[in-house]
Amino acid sequence: MAFTLPDLPFAKDALGDHMSAETLEYHHGKHHKAYVDKTNGMLGEDLEGANLTTVIKRAKEAGNQGLFNNAAQIWNHSFFWLGLAPEGSTKPSDKLQAMIDSDFGSTDKLLEALQTESANHFASGWGWLILNNGKLEVTSLHDADSPVAHGMTPLFTVDVWEHAYYIDYRNARPDYLKSVLHNIVNWDFVSHNLDGQGVSRADQLG
């Protein structure tokens, strides 16, 4: 069974000036779609019917970098879209807020840490909020690499490939990160991931 491009979980104009409809047309409609098409073209009979996480792990084990890159980018992008929502529409659950306050001091400090990590990440990749041994941590991974290939528990991600922000922000990655992280994070999704309810949805959409 071939993978399909998931629909965005919001209208293309729902994120306002933080992420324009034009950016979403290209980022989702062209870049994300290309990863889907390329992955489908690389799948062998041994992976027929396998879910996306399985494809990613088997490609990594086999050293099939082309398949790994494209399949992981499907997963990362599907997860990324689910982590965004119209401004002011969500907030952290009580459980998530308590962990944020304990591990970072405040939501603003968490976002500052994720912004700094992502802004300073060299070249293409992804900034991540993960759960590690019961604590929240900020990290980043290069190119198409994904937490699902390393046994991490991802809660939220932000794309720092140039195609994620160049239309709206040109080369100003820090401006893009500040706008997205402080305004359109889908805290409901992050909270669900903390409770183990959200990640499988991204896999299904992939």
| HSE (side-chain half, CA atoms, 13 Å) at 115 | 19
Residue 197 has pLDDT above 70, yes or no: no
What pLDDT digit, counting tens, does each position of 18-68 carry?
A: 999 999 999 999 999 999 999 999 999 999 899 999 999 999 999 999 999
Task: Tell me the C-alpha distance between 152 and 129, whole Å.
Answer: 10
The pLDDT confidence band at residue 196, using thresholds 50, 70 and 90, is confident
Task: State the pLDDT at residue 152.
Answer: 92
- pTM for this one? 0.96
What pLDDT digit, counting tens, does each position of 139-164 carry?
A: 999 999 999 999 899 999 999 999 99
Report strand pairing: 135-142 vs 153-159. Answer: unpaired
Measure Cα distances from 42 to 55, 59, 69, 73, 79 in Å: 11, 10, 11, 14, 22
Mean pLDDT of 68-75: 98
Retrieve residue 46's tokens.
């041994």
Residue 203 has pLDDT above 70, yes or no: no
Supply the mean pLDDT for the chain. 95
Superfamily of domain 17-206: Iron/manganese superoxide dismutase, C-terminal domain (3.55.40.20)
Residue 106 has pLDDT above 80, yes or no: yes
Task: State the pLDDT at residue 199.
Answer: 56
Domain range annotation of the chain: 17-206
